Amino acid sequence: METFEYIAAVEVSSFHRYLKGLRSVRLGAGKYAAFSQPGHISTIRGAVHNLWTKWIPELGLDVADAPDFESYGGEFDARIGMGGFEICVPLVA
Residue 51 is part of which domain span? 31-91
> In the predicted model, what is the mean pLDDT of the chain?
88
Instruction: Identify whether the C-beta of residue 69 lies closer than 8 Å to the C-beta of residue 60.
Output: no
- 67 lies in a domain? yes
The answer as to whether 7 is a domain residue is no
Domain assignment present for 71: yes
pLDDT of residue 34: 93
According to the model, what pLDDT value does residue 15 have?
75
Residue 8 lies in a domain: no
In order of 31, 48, 49, 89, the CA distances from 92 in angstroms are 7, 19, 21, 10
pLDDT recorded at residue 19: 65
Longest dimension (CA), the chain: 43
For residue 43, tell me if it sits in a domain. Answer: yes
Q: What confidence score (pLDDT) does residue 8 get? A: 75
Predicted pLDDT at 1: 64
Q: Which residues of the chain have pLDDT under 50?
A: none
What's the domain count of the chain? 1
Q: Is residue 19 part of a domain?
A: no
- Beta strands of the chain (E only): which ranges? 31-37, 69-71, 85-91
